[in-house]
Structure 1
Amino acid sequence: MLDEKGFKRKRFDDLIDEMEDKAKEVYGDKINTSALSPLGIILRIFAWFLATVWGLAEKVYYSAYVNTAEGSSLDRLGPHVGVSRALSQYATGNVTLTGTPGYTVSAGFLVSTDTDVQYETTSDATFPASGSMTVPVEAMEAGLSGNTPEGTVTIIVNPVPEVTAVNNPAAILGGRDKETDPEFRDKFSLSVAGGGSATGDAIRGAVLRVTGVRAAAVIINNKITPDAAGRPAKSYQVYALGGSDTDIANAILSVGAAGIESYGDISMQVKDLSGNLQPIKFSRAVVVPVHIKIQVYKSTAYPSDGDDQVKSKLVRFIGGADLDGTVYAGLSMGEDVVMMRLAAAAYSIVGVEDVVIELSTNGTSYGTHNLVVDVQQVAQTAANWIEVTHHDFSG
């Protein structure tokens, strides 16, 4: 039922009780509604189907709320705050082909790794006199599977005499799976402050909705004199991590207050709706690199790929590039790196009994203290900045 307390689904047992009570009300208290009686069987069949309908009604009710909606129902809530789910993406990169000078390799030429992850060239290319050339490729299938380290693309799928070898001099990256429901909810929460305009939250929300932006902050100088950082009187400065300069400038113009000066070391000229050029300034976020040494004391339940799982958990929590090349947003700008929260992320892995964590911003000097991050800064790490050692837990 639905009342001021919300929706409460009737379950199978609830329906059976109500239907038995109704049957006794109509046919008398002595009517047989046991599970093996003809009437009892009929009631239970109907109760089963009605319970299914009640379950569907519950899903419909909760699909209207971002914290409980799932799948396509969650997708439909995104446009209300100007965000959409990131779909699966194809990994891209370059391979070096070796072959006969003068021979043209047509777009669509297939190469692969020894694990049968295939890529196709995306443009025609002709071998120069040196017999070696670099051509762009794209994974045949979208998703994380397309990300591969350097030196692993070595197989020509459909050999021709004029092409003798292939290799990738650098990792092929950029592939990612479709954004999960929890990831999309995080994006939704970050962007929900973007309603309206001419406020710091609205400007931040608009910048966060720009494709590729992983963090943003807005610092406002409300005084009639410049502040200590040199921001002019009555101005604001936007800091952004990721995204293109043009897209960020357009986002700022779309919600920024008229007559209030934007400030920063990047300056763009953006056309307003009347076609006039408006100067928009902003700055890039100052990235605080987070190098981590973590000692894991493990039980026998610790998985064989536990070290990689630890790295991935920490990258997803802080933000940065994971082992497969996927880049996660992680912590917001100005959010400190707290040791206990890192430990909690590691403890979520089966078999982790205890951890000792050390942090560094330069990869040389490590300490067991939290990293304090200023409002214009954002902490970022990477899987290859994390060193995991493990020991058996002795209790």
Structure 2
Amino acid sequence: MADINKFGATGTTLQEFLADMRQKYLAIDGDWNIEPESPDGLQIAAWCEVLANLDEAIIQAYQSVDPNSAIGQQLDRIAEYASIRRQRATFSTSLVTFTGTPLTAIPAGTQVKHRITGTLWATDNDVVTSSAGTVSVGVTCVSSGSQGANIGTLTKIATPIGGIISVTNGVVASMGLDEETDNAFRIRRTESVARLGSNMIDNIYAELVNVNGVKKIRILENVGDAPDENGIAGHSMAIFVDGGANEDIIAAISRKKNPGCGLNYKTNIPNKISVDTRTATGQPVNITFFRPEYVSVFVRIEVLIDAVDFDESDLKKRMVDYSLKGFDETLGFSKHGFLIGEDIAAGRLYTPANYVVGGAQYVRTITVGTKSGAVDQNIIPIRFNQLGVFDAGNIEVVYV
């Protein structure tokens, strides 16, 4: 039977129950017919299955109160004690430019279509074309998850508007995420215990990581008097956030930022979002943060294959997922994917590749690049404010 002590909980397996029960029956009568197909054998099997299920249920109940082993709804309940909730699926975002007649209004929700995959993307807000007939606006994919869009792929107008003749995206899309897995949720819960801590950087990070839609965060601090090599002002922080709504991010920072440390609202770091707002107690404050610059990553994988096939689309999806959230299948691997400002090292991509390939096959080489015709590097240098973005359409699998 199940045993709970100071070292944990242990139970008896079905096979152990069967062996013990059969031994006790034969101790009564050595000629007793307890073969599996006999009436008594079937009865023994039924009893043992019930006992094994009871032990398993007891162990699961014991483990469900531990955040390191709880799953599903019970993990949600444990995290709720700290006001932390599982993140639902998020949506990919990009920036498109409309061209047409000057001063043409384009309402929020106007849809454009990916020319290859057919996914629909809706504009985030109302805009009007300039006197030159162009305007740029953010778009969000209507389908959740990691929906990619390379440069020049959002080119079909799905919602016709008089005066608008073309649309295109000049930047690669920032990928959305699937609903947070148990493993990823455990990691974020652990990071979020700093929400009530005393370190401002950890506090801000823990607050931002729980903002709906936020995917990547990087906080750089310059404790010196002069600007550093990245242009970050002295005695200040530069906060980089990928994903999430501007107003939610601003509110989160204002709740945790202490007075006296600047946020670089006067620097020339690109993609700056700066808003004058108020703290929770009504004090005026300027909140500044930055969006990362996206760098398209192309991958070439050489697979030595014998006779066993594998799902190539699954391999590409695993690569994209790894870039977003790391490898959470087991311990000892990155749990955050590639971070803002982190170089793209091809060597790290062997982990998700080998997880899919296996069998009579193995990955021979993996190289990366920023252009489709030059995927021959081992490392892509990434600047402090950049983020490498993977797309299944930019991953080539070659069989050798």
Asked if TM exceeds 0.5, the reply is: yes
1:190 positional shift: 5.3
Quick check: which has more Rg, 1 or 2? 1
Task: Decide whether the 8 Å contact of 1:196 with 1:255 is kept in 2.
Answer: no
1:271-301 CA-partner distances (Å, limit 9, x unpaired): 2222233111122223333122223332322
Amino acid at match of 1:57: I
SS of match in other structure, 1:258: coil
Matched, 1:280 2:293: no
1:176 positional shift: 7.7
How many Å separate the matches in 2 of 1:150 and 1:257? 42
Task: Decide whether the 8 Å contact of 2:301 with 2:363 is kept in 1.
Answer: no
Query: Which residue is 2:110 aligned to?
Result: none
Equivalent of 1:317, from 319, 322, 332? 322
Query: Which residue is 1:380 aligned to?
Result: 389
Task: Decide whether the 8 Å contact of 1:347 with 1:354 is kept in 2.
Answer: yes
Matched, 1:4 2:15: no
Cα distance change of structure 1 residues 376 and 195 upon mapping to structure 2, 3 Å threshold: farther
Task: Decide whether the 8 Å contact of 2:303 with 2:362 is kept in 1.
Answer: yes
Query: Which residue is 1:196 aligned to?
Result: 197
Aligned length: 322
1:8-56 CA-partner distances (Å, limit 9, x unpaired): 22334555788899x99xxxx9755978499999887655433222211
Query: Which residue is 2:62 aligned to?
Result: 61
Query: Which residue is 2:379 aligned to?
Result: 370
How many Å separate the matches in 2 of 1:225 and 1:317? 37
How many Å separate the matches in 2 of 1:176 and 1:228? 33
Query: Which residue is 2:236 aligned to?
Result: 235
Task: Decide whether the 8 Å contact of 2:254 with 2:280 is kept in 1.
Answer: no
Task: Decide whether the 8 Å contact of 1:32 with 1:39 is kept in 2.
Answer: no
Query: Which residue is 1:346 aligned to?
Result: 353
Cα distance change of structure 1 residues 288 and 185 upon mapping to structure 2, 3 Å threshold: farther
Percentage of pairs with the same residue: 24
Cα distance change of structure 1 residues 193 and 355 upon mapping to structure 2, 3 Å threshold: farther
How many Å separate the matches in 1 of 2:369 and 2:21? 66
Amino acid at match of 1:64: V
1:316 positional shift: 1.3
How many Å separate the matches in 2 of 1:225 and 1:175? 37
Alignment of 1:62-141 (within 5 A): 62-80=63-81, 82-87=83-88
1:247 positional shift: 1.2
How many Å separate the matches in 1 of 2:224 and 2:177? 45
Task: Decide whether the 8 Å contact of 1:88 with 1:175 is kept in 2.
Answer: yes
Cα distance change of structure 1 residues 40 and 309 upon mapping to structure 2, 3 Å threshold: closer
CA RMSD after TM alignment? 4.7
Matched, 1:356 2:356: no
How many Å separate the matches in 2 of 1:242 and 1:58? 39
TM-score by length of 1: 0.64
Cα distance change of structure 1 residues 352 and 31 upon mapping to structure 2, 3 Å threshold: closer
Query: Which residue is 1:331 aligned to?
Result: 338
Task: Decide whether the 8 Å contact of 1:195 with 1:205 is kept in 2.
Answer: no
1:59 positional shift: 0.9
SS of match in other structure, 2:214: coil
Cα distance change of structure 1 residues 85 and 65 upon mapping to structure 2, 3 Å threshold: same
Amino acid at match of 1:7: A
1:343-386 CA-partner distances (Å, limit 9, x unpaired): 23222224642333221134444333223445543322112222
1:339 positional shift: 2.0
SS of match in other structure, 2:56: helix
Query: Which residue is 2:275 aligned to?
Result: 268
Task: Decide whether the 8 Å contact of 1:299 with 1:353 is kept in 2.
Answer: no
Task: Decide whether the 8 Å contact of 1:269 with 1:277 is kept in 2.
Answer: yes
| Unpaired segments ≥5 residues, structure 1 | 93-116, 120-137, 155-168, 321-327
Task: Decide whether the 8 Å contact of 2:148 with 2:392 is kept in 1.
Answer: no
How many Å separate the matches in 2 of 1:75 and 1:334? 32
How many Å separate the matches in 2 of 1:232 and 1:176? 33
How many Å separate the matches in 2 of 1:181 and 1:340? 27
Cα distance change of structure 1 residues 216 and 7 upon mapping to structure 2, 3 Å threshold: same
SS of match in other structure, 1:84: coil
Amino acid at match of 1:283: F
1:242-277 CA-partner distances (Å, limit 9, x unpaired): 212221111112122233332354311222222233
TM-score by length of 2: 0.63
Query: Which residue is 2:211 aligned to?
Result: 210
How many Å separate the matches in 2 of 1:91 and 1:214? 10
How many Å separate the matches in 2 of 1:364 and 1:309? 24
How many Å separate the matches in 2 of 1:276 and 1:302? 62
Query: Which residue is 2:256 aligned to?
Result: 255
1:80 positional shift: 4.4
Alignment of 1:143-158 (within 5 A): none
How many Å separate the matches in 2 of 1:192 and 1:220? 21
